[in-house]
Structure 1
């Protein structure tokens, strides 16, 4: 099982280097293979290892995971030249390049264009990107790389993938969907909104209903999961998938698409009755699955937990 170094690990590495430990000895103390330490030391090019500098380097590289950008060096120079020399707006450049102008603003906000908003013709006042804090709260969180084999290999009940289903872009009620990785059982809960307090409450209440069997949850970086520390304080491990990697929560994503067959994106969640949600749950959980040896998710889930729910 892989191990992602934390700031605490890097502080230990820095301390042990100062007292003369070898890379092999440090690897044994931290609990990683020696090649990990060798790679880690290269994060500080000046030859002096600094834990804070290494952590900053790691976080910067993590932001480049997942979906690949279309921005090339030639395209970067073209956009910069047009902005600085011709004073064209992003809307005009996007039209010429046949791409969404929002993409150009995203590149600008990430610092990939090497220009500042103030050099734009309108100083960027027409487009102010709203930040919802996505990803800001995951400092110190556990990522999917650290998830145990029992969850990765679907060896036991209680490891859930979690997500939300929205009513398009409007505010209002949302659906929280919980999918057990081993049995593929789907549990649907109605939430008053897409906020962390509502999601945290739903997870803890579901765990109580299931008599404390939830061992872990895996989610994306949505702001509704900002309460992961409170969840972990109650004994439930919380793992975050990498950005733009829905395949890492593939079971939940696929079943969410099946729910969308019954609840289209433009349909408000408030208009869906509890009876309809019950019927959707039956449709998902009472159907035999080939991957389960033609058993239903209900059979596998409660079959493994027959003693707990007698």
Structure 2
């Protein structure tokens, strides 16, 4: 029987991707979708994504649908570049904002670049709405506010605390005792609790601490409790973005003697170590995680796993090994890295 041809829908492409990933034969896929097997074969062949990274290689129903649409009409940049679209959606799922995605592409020297506005337009396009991409945004708004309502937010930073004033030796990861900090947010309907992630730039040692809300004093108090067990030489400075949750940064100077520096507006890649770490943490703690209900042992396990994993950038030593080797044994302070774990006194 000859089947009349109409363009494959996104739902059909989703089924093709699911069944192909399950290694179901093409003729069976065609039979279940009531399509000719050559249609399925051509669909997979024409829309197969070729990439050096195995994670981004294969048949992806969203990328395939966009690629097919682009053949019929000239659409936006993400619709014409399926590999880039897959990357953007993957990073959104990992908790990155459009500004962070666009900034990371620029900072990494990627051949394809985007503005954060392009990503927002993609998220709020009819196709993005169909995919529910807005749910992966930090604010998770179904509809985007009018432009005049989108006012820049952030702290006023004194000139002495801008990243331009940060000593040059901090930037190349060769100087010990310099940290980066960020806040990891979760679904609003699950409550206000969040996590502070702290990363020492040279060792990549990670500390996670839970906060009851975004109150800046509380966030800073949590950091101080964790970092005070370190000797002064291991807590010299910290770099943040301009989120209002870091407004009480002078407390770090008062209590710990730490200098604070802040990235340029909309430039989170300037604290790339903690951004990278957040992506690693998101493998275990998605935005759907109820942080309030998360057992303390689960948080401990994540920290231990991150700090005990050999890293190529460390010559395949672990962050814990590098941290402990960098501490001067003659100085009072930390003797056991377990003192830095979540829940430790």
Q: Please state if 1:264 is matched with 2:286.
A: yes
5 Å-filtered alignment, 1:223-238, equals: 223-234=244-255, 235-238=257-260
Separation in structure 1 between the aligned mates of residue 318 and residue 277 of structure 2, nearest angstrom = 14
Separation in structure 1 between the aligned mates of residue 246 and residue 195 of structure 2, nearest angstrom = 14
- Cα root mean square deviation, aligned: 2.7
5 Å-filtered alignment, 1:118-157, equals: 134-140=153-159, 142-157=161-176
C-alpha offsets along residues 106-153 of structure 1, whole Å, 9 cap, x if unaligned? 46x57xxxxxxxxxxxxxxxxxxxxxxx42443455111111123111
Residues 1:233 and 1:68: Cα distance change in structure 2 (over 3 Å):
farther
The 8 Å contact of residues 155 and 242 in structure 2, kept in 1 or not, is answered as no
The match for 1:197 among 188, 202, 217 is 217
Residues 1:70 and 1:254: Cα distance change in structure 2 (over 3 Å):
closer
Structure 2's unaligned 5+ residue stretches are: 1-102, 104-113, 119-124, 130-142, 336-345
Separation in structure 1 between the aligned mates of residue 293 and residue 328 of structure 2, nearest angstrom = 36
Separation in structure 2 between the aligned mates of residue 105 and residue 154 of structure 1, nearest angstrom = 40
Q: What is the aligned partner in structure 2 of residue 295 from structure 1?
A: 317
Q: Which runs of 4+ in 1 moved over 6 A?
A: none
Q: What is the aligned partner in structure 1 of residue 239 from structure 2?
A: 218
Shift in Å, 1:189: 0.8
Q: What is the aligned partner in structure 2 of residue 50 from structure 1?
A: none
Separation in structure 2 between the aligned mates of residue 187 and residue 270 of structure 1, nearest angstrom = 18
Partner of 2:325, secondary structure, is helix
Shift in Å, 1:187: 0.6
Residues 1:299 and 1:101: Cα distance change in structure 2 (over 3 Å):
closer
Structure 1's unaligned 5+ residue stretches are: 1-65, 72-93, 111-133
5 Å-filtered alignment, 1:1-310, equals: 101-106=144-149, 109=151, 134-140=153-159, 142-170=161-189, 171-212=191-232, 213-234=234-255, 235-307=257-329, 308=331, 309=334
Partner of 1:189, secondary structure, is strand
C-alpha offsets along residues 167-205 of structure 1, whole Å, 9 cap, x if unaligned? 223442111110000000001111111111112212222
Partner of 2:174, secondary structure, is coil
The 8 Å contact of residues 172 and 269 in structure 1, kept in 2 or not, is answered as no
Separation in structure 2 between the aligned mates of residue 225 and residue 180 of structure 1, nearest angstrom = 18
Residues 1:138 and 1:272: Cα distance change in structure 2 (over 3 Å):
same
The 8 Å contact of residues 183 and 301 in structure 1, kept in 2 or not, is answered as yes
Separation in structure 1 between the aligned mates of residue 155 and residue 318 of structure 2, nearest angstrom = 39
C-alpha offsets along residues 25-46 of structure 1, whole Å, 9 cap, x if unaligned? xxxxxxxxxxxxxxxxxxxxxx
Shift in Å, 1:70: 5.8
C-alpha offsets along residues 185-236 of structure 1, whole Å, 9 cap, x if unaligned? 0011111111111122122222311133310110111111001223233421
